[in-house]
Amino acid sequence: MPELPDVEVFRQYMEATSLHKKITGVEVENERVLQDITPSGLGQKLKGRLFERTRRHGKHMFACADGEFWVMFHFGMTGFFKYFKNEEDKPPHARVLFHFDNGFCLAYDSQRMLGKIRIVEDAGDFIRQNELGQDALGLSWDAFQNRMHGRRGTVKTALMNQSLMAGIGNIYSDEILFQTGIHPKTQMNNLNEGLLKKMHEHMQRVLKTAVDKKADPEEFPDDFLVPHRGSGNKCPRCGGEIKKVKVNNRGTYFCPQCQPSPHS
Partner DNA sequence: AGTACCACCTGACGGC
Partner DNA sequence: TGCCGTCAGGTGGTAC
Q: Which residues bind DNA (CB under 7 A)?
A: 1-3, 5-6, 32, 58-59, 74, 76-77, 93, 111-114, 130, 150-154, 157, 160, 162, 169-171, 188, 215, 217, 244, 248-251
Least CB distance to DNA at residue 143 (A): 17
Nearer Cβ to DNA (19/211): 211
Nearer Cβ to DNA (51/169): 169
Least CB distance to DNA at residue 102 (A): 30
From 10, 36, 38, 39, select the one nearest 25 (Cα to Cα). Answer: 39
DSSP-assigned letter for residue 188: G
Let me know: does 94 contact 13? Beta carbons within 8 Å: no
Nearer Cβ to DNA (157/204): 157
Residue 254 Cα distances to 75, 82, 156, 221, 226, angstroms: 26, 33, 12, 17, 10
- Cα(50)–Cα(52) distance, rounded to whole angstroms? 6
Nearer Cβ to DNA (102/189): 189
Least CB distance to DNA at residue 123 (A): 15
Let me know: does 210 contact 181? Beta carbons within 8 Å: no
Least CB distance to DNA at residue 177 (A): 14
